[in-house]
Structure 1
Amino acid sequence: MTVERLQNTKPTTERWDEVFEALSSEPRRQLLVTLLEAPAGRRVLLPDAAVGPAESVDLPKRRLQLTHRHLPMLSERGFVDWTTDPFCAQRGERFGEVAAVLDILQANADALPDHLVDGYRRFEDERGE
C-alpha cells in the first residue's frame, strides 16, 4: 500500500519520463505490446515475448539482456512483474500508463511518418489484421 501511494505522488513529468524510457528500447516495446495484446492477468513467456516479428536475435543473449537490464527497469517502475522460473512476465500495477500510450500510438499509426511504423504495419499484415 505504501509503495502505491508513493508512486501516485510522483510528479507528472517524472511519470511521463518513465513511460517514454520504458518505450525507448525495442525489447521493452515488444514485451509491452505483447502484454497489451494478452488477456489481463495472463503471463507471457520470455524471451520470446520480447522479440519482434522482424527481428532475428540470439535468444540466450536476449534472455541476459532482459534479466539484467530491461525487466528490472520495467519492474522497478511497476510496468511489469516477472519471474525467472518459469521465465515469464505479466502486467504490473502501473501497466495502464504505458498501455494508454501504446493504444494511442496504434490507433493513430496512419498519422505517423511511414518510417516509424513500417515494421508495425508489416507485422499487422502478417497477422491478417
Structure 2
Amino acid sequence: MRGYRSDADETDRALQVLSHACRRRVLFELYEEVNSGERGAIDYTDVTQNGTECRHLILYHTHLPKLEECGYIEWYRAEKTIRTGPRWEEIEPLLELLSSHLDELPPFLRGKPSGDDGDEY
C-alpha cells in the first residue's frame, strides 16, 4: 500500500516534529546551513532574534529538547548552537522535498519553510 511503511514510527516522528512552525524554522535554518557547504553550527538565538523573551524560553525549554530527543540535532547549550544530530539523515530528505517543491504546494502552504509570520511559538 502506498504511503505505508513498516517503519511508521520514524515517519510519525518526522511529521510530528515538522507540525510546529518553530521546529520547522530551526530545522530549515540548519538545512540551509548544511546545504551551503559550511557544515557548521548555527546560533539558535539567531532563529529567534525578533522574538520575545517568552519565545526564547519556549524554544529553549520545549522545541530544542524535542529536536535533540529525536536525534535530529545536537544541542550545545553553552555555545548556544546546534548541529545536525545522529538521526539527521531521517529528516533531511523530507526537508529537501518540502524545500524543492514549495511552488507546487497549495497557496496556504507556500509560506517560506523557515516561517516569518511571527506566530511560530
**What's the TM-score once normalised by structure 2's chain length?**
0.77
> Does the C-alpha gap of structure 1 residues 50 and 99 become closer, same or farther in structure 2, counting only changes over 3 Å?
farther
* Correspondence for 1:35: 30
Matched residue type, 1:47:
T
Alignment of 1:57 with 2:51, yes or no, is yes
Output aligned runs, 1:67-86, within 5 Å. 67-86=60-79
* Correspondence for 1:22: 17
Residue 19 of structure 2 aligns to a residue in which SS?
coil
Q: Displacement, 1:109?
A: 1.5
Range with greater deviation from structure 2 (33-42 or 67-76)? 33-42
Deviation above 3 Å: which 4+ runs of structure 1? none
Structure with the larger RCO, 1 or 2 (CA within 8 Å, 6+ apart) = 2
1:110-129 Cα offsets, whole Å, 9 max, x none, are: 22101111x319x8xxxxxx
Number of equivalent positions: 106
Residue 74 of structure 1 aligns to a residue in which SS?
helix
**What's the TM-score once normalised by structure 1's chain length?**
0.73
> Percent sequence identity over matched residues?
28
- More helix by proportion, 1 or 2? 1
Gaps in structure 2 of 5+ consecutive residues: 1-5, 116-121
1:64-88 Cα offsets, whole Å, 9 max, x none, are: 1122111111111100011221111
* Correspondence for 1:126: none
Residue 47 of structure 1 aligns to a residue in which SS?
helix
Gaps in structure 1 of 5+ consecutive residues: 1-10, 124-129
